[in-house]
Copies of this chain bind each other. A is one copy, B any other.
Amino acid sequence: MWCVARAGVTAERLALAAADLADEVGVENVTVAALARHFGVKDASLYFHIRSAHDLRVRIALLALAELADRVADALAGRAGKDALVAFANAYRDYATRHPGRYAAMQIDLDPETAAASAGVRHAEMTRAILRGYRLSEPDQTDAVRMMHSTFHGFVSLERTGGFRHTPRSTDESWARALDALDAVLSNWPRG
């Protein structure tokens, strides 16, 4: 290989390229070798920037968490109540649809300290912020946060893996109705 200048690989560019690759071919196919090829570099050289193949995927996850938190924050600005709920939900689903590989990477479980330092905590804060419009106190609030997150993640996840494929009904419609239902149940949270 005739290398005139250095490839200029950095951990950030690596994570970004890996994330793009994940969106194209799926996280499971994001390989150190493929990434090295993309930069016109030998695979061994990348271990100067990353610790392992798993480390690479964790970096994709952290990148994705941060990106998603930014989008959600933008979507949420100046909104409250159901408006905020819908904005959050749509930003979430949009991101997952546009960036399937990044979204899949977000699901790998980070070790506790990495998770605590990630943008995941911003997600949690914003989710709770939405619920302020519904006036729920603990522990109902935590239960509601968990249900919300479950619905979002579950829907998006099933939509992507083809779990809804067997029924002709538009998934956009179902999504809108799920948000209506979520709003309804949050507005009138059942007492134990």
Chain A residues packing against B (C-beta within 8 Å): 28, 107-110, 112, 115-116, 121, 124, 139-140, 142-147, 149-155, 157-158, 161-167, 169, 171, 173-174, 177-178, 180-185, 188-190, 192
Contact of A154 among B144, B155, B192 (CB under 8 A): B155
- For residue A150, which residues in chain B have a CB less than 8 angstroms away from its CB? 150-151, 154-155, 157-158, 178
Q: Can you list 28 residue pairs at the A/B interface with Cβ under 8 Å?
A: A107-B161, A108-B161, A112-B165, A116-B166, A121-B166, A139-B169, A142-B174, A143-B181, A145-B167, A146-B158, A146-B167, A146-B169, A147-B151, A149-B154, A149-B158, A150-B151, A150-B154, A150-B158, A150-B178, A153-B154, A153-B157, A153-B158, A153-B163, A154-B154, A154-B157, A177-B192, A182-B185, A184-B185
